[in-house]
Structure 1
Amino acid sequence: MTPVLTDLRIVEVAAFIAAPLGGLTLAQLGADVIRIDPIGGNIDYTRMPTNEAGHSLYWAGLNKGKRSVAIAIGTPEGQELAAALIAQPGDGRGIVTTNLPARGWLAHAALAKRRADLVMVELTGNPDGTSALDYTINCASGFPIATGPTEAPINHVLPAWDVAAGLLITTAVLAAERHRTRTGEGQRITLSLADVMLHAVSSLGFTMEVEANGVTRPPLGNDLYGAFGRDFATKDRRRIMVVAITTRQFRAVGKATGLTEAFQTVGGLVGADLASEPGRFAARDALAAVAAPWFATRTLDEVAAAFEGSGVLWGPYQDFGQLVRDDWRHSTANPMFARTAHHGIGELLTPGSPLAFGSIPRGELAGAPRLGAHTEEVLAQDLGLPSGEIARLQDAGTVAL
């Protein structure tokens, strides 16, 4: 935990990826993030992958460093406790994030009656409030059609829109809290997965190309659109990606492989100006055909040695296992990582925040808590409930300690 946001407290009522990722990002920057789950866990509590004991690695990864409170939020008394915690007075408090249906007790209007300067960030599927998931948003984005060698759609494994939305939730929290600090005004901020997708697709020029040029980008396999970039097979049956966006980078590939003259010959034969990005893109198939034998006669280690210090932009394809075993960036050699204990799982290599602050050292990382591990602490310290009342709530099944 990097102690930058230690004066903020966020209550998270959420499940799955986007909102929990937003809370994780804030928690790893020092914010006190309290996650409220129903007793027994929310719908993501046992999400795959799990360890042999059935504990969700997915849930653990997204809820590191948070305080876990288990409340029967389907009951009036549980809702009252959760609402009181969300709207509790105090500087840096009164902030809630959710990607669950924000209605009834969780509606902004209801919570704002308790605290007028409440900051609430709500994530929905579509801008009209209807439901959608990352996969149902992504299928409409155009990316699955533009991915791969044919127009058959390919769903990527990365939940890109959830990740982007989660990071935007953190921006929303910080921007709204800064506004509240200046003006004393709270507000409701809404965000939809669809708008996150549409903003990205438009800002990256994909839809603008349709309107401006009447062109829909076709699938190009592993070629880099608009420049020279392609995957190549090595002698030891590994695959690598080589990218040359600038002329300098392309020249580095030619020099490191000894293929500069061959590239120029091919460029002349196909009538492409290899000093320009469009020219290299137009000649990509011919250039790749020349380069492929060079890679095919060398192992991955030999390619790495040839490219060392050359200025070539490249990287090996690796599965998750190879990433863990072979990539130093996923190890304690990278200061973002440390070995950290997670409830029910044990000690694992765990990332902190990707942000490194020059004047604030990284603190000790916190792992995933036991579900409800902080219920008693939060009820006593944050809400000021006496021990007898906490025991009554536990006996009534309103909370789980």
Structure 2
Amino acid sequence: MSMGEVGDEGLERFGKPLDGVRVLAIEQMQALPYATQMLARFGAEVIKIESPGVGDSGRTSLPSMNDPEGRKVGVTFLRNNMGKRSITVDLKNPEGLEIVRKLAAKADIVCENFKPGVAARLGLGYEDIAAINPRAVYLSVSGFGNTDSPYTSWPAYAPIAEGMAGLYEFKRAPGIAPIVSPLGALGDTGSALFAVIGVLAALRHRDATGQGQYVDIAMFDAMVALNDAGISYWSMGLKDPGLAPLINHSFKAFDGYLIIQCARPHMFKALAELVGHPEWVDDPRLAGPQDWFNHLEDVIRPGVEGWAADKSRIQACAALSGVGVASGPIYNPGDVIEDEHVRRRNMLVPMERTDGVPEPVLSPGNPVKLSKVAEPPASRVPWLGEHTEEILREELGLSAEEIARLTESGATG
């Protein structure tokens, strides 16, 4: 059965791969919330622990919108928490801590992104959870992991891990300071993807053995893994990846820039003929990939940009692709939002705003397309503490009187 042969209604009979999987997420900001949002998209039930009054620190990010009660909800929270339920619990309150432990006892996955050591001091570390729920998969996401690292005590955000992994040196121009966060929060989202892989592997192992385990994700490790090209190039003597022997550069069209990657002689021949310079093929100065790079600025760029000067990015790329040369337009976020591929593949999830602004908040959709899993309608983020009473009542069986007492005591918000 190919993708698209069965409508979403027909796919509902298959369910989702993580239906019935319960996730307890003690999380902040982006790396772990992105991972648990991905799990939610595959059907997991995610309960998000937030502190009363403030909540996930991602709620305070900018830009922001107002929730139905007039509280600010920042963009970091909005793009990483769809499809979850929020319960506000004071982890410094013994009764609040006991609520979390009771929820953990019923969870398939317990995850946290405290600084290393904090979860254990609270009595919520791996050993603590394994003692009450040995089947639970325990996930930690931190800057440098929870095992042996000289940097374990260092605080870290995405750009710290990106920079330490060498990503900012890749193709950096001499004499120009490194650009921080050139790819947004890659340190967060990249770490989150490895976290999801680890959790899915641990769930598979749990199904086979009956035992949960500790999944320890370091953002630094994840970024080292993503810098595979830079590290392997360096190890083979290519200290400056900008000198890689191929055409892999941007070129100007009349409405912006496009990328061309040309690494094979037959591609170079097709490129030369398309842009009106068939003589390049027999030019001894352009005999091979290293020569192409050496004469990029004095020969190839003027020829390509002269050809593209009266063409849009899309027109130029369509012509290049038509002769087998890999290319693509360089987009800004507005271009991405308007792209037809992005629309057809449901790669933007709109969330209606609650503060009177007509334009929705847009977040990336799920890039993992499964032929027997329907893509559900977008589910908004939870408002702070929105599901506290519901979770206490349905998950822990507490009475209305007990819930009121816990709220009065400050254990919950």
TM-score higher than 0.5: yes
The verdict on how the C-alpha distance between 1:289 and 1:249 changes in structure 2, with shifts beyond 3 A counting, is: same
- Provide the identity percentage: 25
Give, in whole Å, the separation in 2 of the partners of 1:358 and 1:94.
26
Give, in whole Å, the separation in 2 of the partners of 1:149 and 1:14.
37
Q: CA deviation at 1:175?
A: 1.1
- Note if contact 1:14-1:97 (Cα within 8 Å) is conserved in structure 2: yes
Residue in 1 aligned with 2:352? 341
Give, in whole Å, the separation in 2 of the partners of 1:287 and 1:305.
19
Runs of at least 5 residues in structure 2 that lack an aligned partner in the other structure: 1-11
Q: 1:243 aligned to 253, 261, 271, which one?
A: 261
Give, in whole Å, the separation in 2 of the partners of 1:42 and 1:338.
21
Give, in whole Å, the separation in 2 of the partners of 1:233 and 1:336.
27
The one-letter code of the counterpart of 2:276 is G
Deviations 1:63-109 (A, max 9, x none): 01111111112221111111211122xxxx33111111322222112
Give, in whole Å, the separation in 2 of the partners of 1:7 and 1:279.
58
The verdict on how the C-alpha distance between 1:351 and 1:126 changes in structure 2, with shifts beyond 3 A counting, is: closer
- Note if contact 1:67-1:373 (Cα within 8 Å) is conserved in structure 2: yes
> Is the counterpart of residue 383 in structure 1 residue 401 in structure 2?
no
> Is the counterpart of residue 230 in structure 1 residue 242 in structure 2?
no
Give, in whole Å, the separation in 2 of the partners of 1:371 and 1:167.
26
Give, in whole Å, the separation in 1 of the partners of 2:44 and 2:294.
50
Residue in 1 aligned with 2:57? 43
1:106-117 equivalence runs, <5 A: 106-117=124-135
Give, in whole Å, the separation in 1 of the partners of 2:239 and 2:324.
33
1:202-351 equivalence runs, <5 A: 203-204=228-229, 206-213=230-237, 215-217=238-240, 220=242, 225-236=244-255, 238-259=256-277, 261-265=278-282, 267-268=283-284, 270=285, 272-274=286-288, 277-285=289-297, 286-300=299-313, 302-303=315-316, 306-307=319-320, 309-324=322-337, 326-331=338-343, 333-337=344-348, 339-341=350-352, 347-351=360-364
Deviations 1:263-318 (A, max 9, x none): 225x41x2x424xx445444433322322222234444653564463433222223
Residue in 2 aligned with 1:399? 412
**Which deviates the most, 358-367 or 72-81?**
358-367
Is the partner of 2:352 in helix, strand or coil?
A: strand
Give, in whole Å, the separation in 2 of the partners of 1:374 and 1:24.
17
TM-score, length-scaled by structure 1:
0.85
- Note if contact 2:348-2:364 (Cα within 8 Å) is conserved in structure 1: yes
Is the partner of 2:193 in helix, strand or coil?
A: helix
Q: 1:177 aligned to 203, 210, 219, which one?
A: 203
> Is the counterpart of residue 154 in structure 1 residue 183 in structure 2?
no
Give, in whole Å, the separation in 1 of the partners of 2:274 and 2:94.
69
The verdict on how the C-alpha distance between 1:250 and 1:375 changes in structure 2, with shifts beyond 3 A counting, is: farther
The one-letter code of the counterpart of 2:65 is N
> Is the counterpart of residue 61 in structure 1 residue 61 in structure 2?
no
Q: CA deviation at 1:173?
A: 1.1
> Is the counterpart of residue 137 in structure 1 residue 182 in structure 2?
no
Is the partner of 2:164 in helix, strand or coil?
A: coil
Is the partner of 1:51 in helix, strand or coil?
A: strand
The one-letter code of the counterpart of 2:399 is P
Give, in whole Å, the separation in 1 of the partners of 2:354 and 2:112.
24
- Note if contact 2:50-2:88 (Cα within 8 Å) is conserved in structure 1: yes
Q: 1:80 aligned to 92, 95, 98, which one?
A: 98
For the aligned residues, what is the CA RMSD? 2.6
Deviations 1:142-193 (A, max 9, x none): 2222334324312214222221110111111111111111111122221211
The one-letter code of the counterpart of 1:43 is S
Give, in whole Å, the separation in 1 of the partners of 2:269 and 2:40.
45
Is the partner of 1:7 in helix, strand or coil?
A: coil
The verdict on how the C-alpha distance between 1:308 and 1:117 changes in structure 2, with shifts beyond 3 A counting, is: closer
Residue in 2 aligned with 1:27? 40
Deviations 1:327-355 (A, max 9, x none): 22343x33344544366677444544211
Residue in 1 aligned with 2:137? 119
What is the number of equivalent residue pairs in this alignment? 380
The one-letter code of the counterpart of 2:296 is R
Is the partner of 1:162 in helix, strand or coil?
A: helix
TM-score, length-scaled by structure 2:
0.83
Is the partner of 1:62 in helix, strand or coil?
A: coil
Deviations 1:182-222 (A, max 9, x none): 11112222121111222333x43x33444443x4225x3xx
Give, in whole Å, the separation in 2 of the partners of 1:162 and 1:357.
24
Is the partner of 1:354 in helix, strand or coil?
A: coil
